[in-house]
Amino acid sequence: MPVQPLLPPGPPLHAPGSPHGRRDGNGHRPQPHVPHLPDIDQSVQAFLWAVVLGFVSWLFLMGIGSSLAFSTVNCALASVGSFFAVRVFGEEPPTRPRRGKR
């Protein structure tokens, strides 16, 4: 049975400082594109936090033996509270970059 190579066929791998790596026309190595997270509205973030934290606390209360009514009412109140807390205090104001001392 033939042995399979560990790496797929392709260009050879070189050390970071090697002159053999791929470069553009100016002699620079192309940088990989780093995707950014999408910009989500603050109220959507607050709702997601409320749903997740409410569900986790409901699971906890059910796991320790609380009644269904007690767990549901307390977690609904906690979800509403966490929604408003994240909605009001969750967003930081944008800051300006500091200028260096000259």
Instruction: Name the phi and psi angles at 72, rounded to 5.
Output: -65, -45
**35-39, 42-46, 75-79, 85-89: which has the highest mean pLDDT?**
75-79
Q: 47-69, pLDDT tens digit by residue?
A: 988 999 999 999 999 999 999 99
| pTM more than 0.85 | no
Domain positions in the chain are 42-89
**Spatial distance between the Cα atoms of 84 and 9, rounded to a whole number of angstroms:** 54
Query: Percent of the chain beyond pLDDT 70?
Result: 64
